[in-house]
Amino acid sequence: MTAPVGPPQAPPAQHAASAQQVAQSQQVVPANAVVSPPPAPYRAPAAPLPQPITGPVTRSTTTSARQRGGLSDMPPVPPRDPAEAVMANPQVPEHKRFCSKCGKPVGRPQAGRAGRVEGFCPYCRSRYWFTPSLSPGDLLSDRYEVLGAIAHGGLGWIYLANDKNFADDLTQRWVVIKGLINTSDEDAIEAAINERRFLVGIDHPNVVDIHDFVTAADPRSGQLQSYIVMEYIAGKSLRDIRDAVDENGERRPLPLEQVLTYTAELLPAFSYLHDRGLLFCDFKPDNVIHVETWLKLIDLGAVRHVDDMESAIYGTPGYSVPNDEILSVGPSVTSDLYTIGRSMAVLALDFKGFTSTYRDKLPPASEAPQFAEFGSFHRLLLRACHIEPRSRFQDADDMRTQVRGVLQEVQSVQRGEPRFEPSTLFTGEQSVFGEPDVEYDVHAVGDPFDVAHSLPTPMVDLADPMAAFLATQQATDVNGILAELNSAPQQTPEVQLRRVRTLVNAGELHQAAAVLDQFAQREGNTWQVTWMRGIISLLAADFATAAAHFDAVYSHLPGELAPRLALAACAELAGRADLALPHYTRIWTCDHRFVSAAYGRARLLDLEGNSTDAITTLHQVPKTSAQYGIAQTAAIQTALHSRTAPPSLLDLHHMAGRLDELKLEPRRRHLVSTRILHLALDTVARTGPAAEPPIFGARPEERELRLALERSYRDLAHACTRREDQVYYFDLANRHRPRTML
């Protein structure tokens, strides 16, 4: 006779723990359920829902964040023959003809006749022209020979010219000439030119070079016209690229990766201007040229000093901030970044009505499939184009950091490989939560304490005066750390945030919340404050409030993965696997350093019966990770209890080989080997012997498998330190060895 086969057993004390953990991992809690808080001291005061985050992201820009290498991921745009840019019959389109004085439509078609390109406004009798004032062959300042008009902008016609001072028989220096001001007052002309001289000093690889300023009389009106002379960029504007038709004759939005790459490439130019007290004011896709692998801002006509309260303000409807903001506070850094956000939307979306219905807002997600696929991109635009200036990005470098994060997410998803770089705002995971328990063969998310203390934490702002002091703290106990913080030379924001984190780590949540509230009153509701409120709510098992705080951080920093990991954990703890799984999946797709996300994804996939993808996820944990062995062991155990694809004897042979390669500590190895052998024995008992490769050296027939299982149980008993465990496993060894007749 032989002992019955069945699933591998654990000591009785382990059975209770295992059952409890399985129940925890499989329990589904309604979304509106009231979850009992854990025992004291981890009871926190009731936390308010998050307020809008308005503080800037205070981080010094790292060298890597400023690196530029051209648009290496984009197909190059070949230089354009300058002659091809000249318009054959330059006229302002009829639908864009308005009186420059009263603003009413003029030069429109009537009774089937084309509109007049010159004449007098019937409303105010002002003269108008809708053709260029300069003609091919005109020579400005005895130097610049006009070839013709190439475009019409907000300040008038733009011309292509040849700089005769640099021309020879072999080369020509092409320049662009653009009007600045039209007046008969020579003093006004001189003043306008002097005011624009600062543009010549702009020197940035993404900004067009300004060469000169010249004047010439308009041959039609006799008025003096001042012009700015710029380098000619022989590429295509982003507007031209967006409006290009495909092989089916249709205009389509640009790929999201391309739009984000463009934006990340341009933002350093805005940072450069803003650092010098300059505002671009009238950014739009028309004002950017893509040539070869570079982008250039080409229209500086609307650039102004940030403290300029006198000169005219230029903008383009659909791109510029609402008029009320311009009238009340004027142009600002945030209004510049707003125009970038609007331009991103125009380039990436099928954005109908962006100058009318959606002039000051974004289309709903139902009209933008990109928002459904990449919620981070939607949040990026929502922040950049927020109606409240204080809720927008406050700095071009900070915006670029988030743009790059969203770009790396898009690249990871579309290319099928992780592309994420380490964050400059958050640390990595402090530890891994939801680690599979190999001994109990259980995979659960863990408790709120484990999750809260495993999540990434905000990094210290190196620009804080006390950053060096915090880096040299020596105390390790709570009282010692607090004493050092109290004696800091300055009570800076980072010192106060460190105090909050120390209190949280000590379980003093009431005191931590009070200190955090005081900090928020002084410094504002920064994202660090909101993050810590989320941690406190999580420790109190108030998952809904914690998720609301983490969601606010995600909206503020849409290019970061840390808040999404926190959101996933909160959703899973609240029993909302449907909300947690997409976050875990996207995080793991982007960055294989977040092993908690891999475990979460595998855990929830297995729970819904998709053990195949769960195993694939566990196999993706890198060999360089300290979790590699645990992940591979968990993959084996997931396969062993798969309900949809039970392993074959050949699969079990391969599992045994992988287990041998992992070099686990003896107790853990023998636990898993007994489970593999149990399943092999059960399979053979049902189907009979098979001609398959051996499993741990045993041929797949009952007697050999029982001998191998007996040896494995005895080895497991020898690896145990507790007497009762040894007795238990020796008993199992005796039960499963082959019976013989004496």
User: Using one digit for the tens of pLDDT, what is the confidence trace for 399-415?
Assistant: 999 999 999 999 999 99
The CATH-assigned architecture of domain 237-415 is: Orthogonal Bundle (1.10)
Looking up tokens 């970038």 gives 340
Q: Does position 542 have pLDDT exceeding 80, yes or no? A: yes
Is 3.30.200.20 the CATH classification of the domain at 82-90+132-234?
A: yes
Sequence-separated (6 or more) residues with CB below 8 Å from residue 691 = none
Q: Which of 73, 185, 187, 282 does the annotation list as catalytic?
A: 282
Q: Does position 251 have pLDDT exceeding 80, yes or no? A: yes
State percent of the chain over pLDDT 90.
Answer: 71
CA distance 307 to 630: 60
> With contact defined as beta carbons under 8 Å apart, do 225 and 262 qualify?
no
Structure letter (DSSP) for residue 304: E
> With contact defined as beta carbons under 8 Å apart, do 82 and 232 qualify?
yes
Exposure of 196 in the CB half-sphere (CA atoms within 13 A): 28
pLDDT at position 358 is 93
Confidence band (pLDDT; 50, 70, 90) for 680?
A: very high
pLDDT at position 440 is 77
Question: Cis (ω within 30 of 0) for the bond into 132?
Answer: no
CA distance 202 to 183: 27
Q: Does position 6 have pLDDT exceeding 70, yes or no? A: no
> With contact defined as beta carbons under 8 Å apart, do 629 and 623 qualify?
no
Question: pTM of this prediction?
Answer: 0.87
CA distance 674 to 5: 12
- pLDDT by residue (tens digit) across 156-197? 889 999 999 886 655 788 999 988 765 555 665 665 665 577
Nearest to 560 by CA among 391, 453, 420: 420
- pLDDT by residue (tens digit) across 388-401? 999 999 999 999 99
Please indicate whether residue 282 is annotated as part of the active site: yes
pLDDT at position 268 is 97
| Residues paired with 539 in a beta bridge | none
Confidence band (pLDDT; 50, 70, 90) for 82?
A: confident
CA distance 500 to 481: 11
Mean pLDDT of 528-549: 98
Q: Does position 20 have pLDDT exceeding 50, yes or no? A: no
CA distance 670 to 6: 17
* 661 dihedral zone (left: phi>0; alpha: psi -120 to 50; beta): alpha
pLDDT at position 149 is 95
Q: Does position 63 have pLDDT exceeding 60, yes or no? A: no
Please report, for the chain, the start and end positions of each structural domain, with discontinuous segments joined by +: 82-90+132-234, 237-415
Instruction: Return the number of other C-beta atoms located less than 10 Å from residue 105's C-beta.
Output: 15
Mean pLDDT of 300-325: 90
CA distance 265 to 267: 6
pLDDT at position 2 is 45
pLDDT at position 184 is 52
Helices (H), ranges, 276-302? none
pLDDT at position 314 is 86
3 state DSSP class of 690? coil
CA distance 540 to 534: 10
pLDDT at position 443 is 83
Mean pLDDT of 146-151: 94
Q: Does position 5 have pLDDT exceeding 80, yes or no? A: no
Nearest to 74 by CA among 413, 407, 421, 560: 407
DSSP string, 117-164: SEEE-TTT--EEE-S-SS-TT-EETTTEEEEEEEEEETTEEEEEEEET
pLDDT at position 51 is 72
Tokens of 602: 């595998």
pLDDT at position 62 is 41
The amino acid present at 227, given as its one-letter code, is Y
pLDDT at position 438 is 81
Q: What is the mean pLDDT of the chain?
A: 88
Q: Which of 16-30, 258-272, 385-399, 527-541 is the least confident region?
A: 16-30
- pLDDT by residue (tens digit) across 193-224? 655 778 888 999 999 999 998 988 888 888 88
- 203 to 209, 292, 736: CA distances (angstroms): 7, 20, 81
pLDDT at position 54 is 65
Confidence band (pLDDT; 50, 70, 90) for 4?
A: very low
Instruction: Return the number of other C-beta atoms located less than 10 Å from residue 213's C-beta.
Output: 20
Q: Does position 494 have pLDDT exceeding 60, yes or no? A: yes
pLDDT at position 189 is 60
pLDDT at position 36 is 28
Exposure of 57 in the CB half-sphere (CA atoms within 13 A): 28
3 state DSSP class of 288? strand
pLDDT at position 195 is 57
Q: Does position 17 have pLDDT exceeding 70, yes or no? A: no
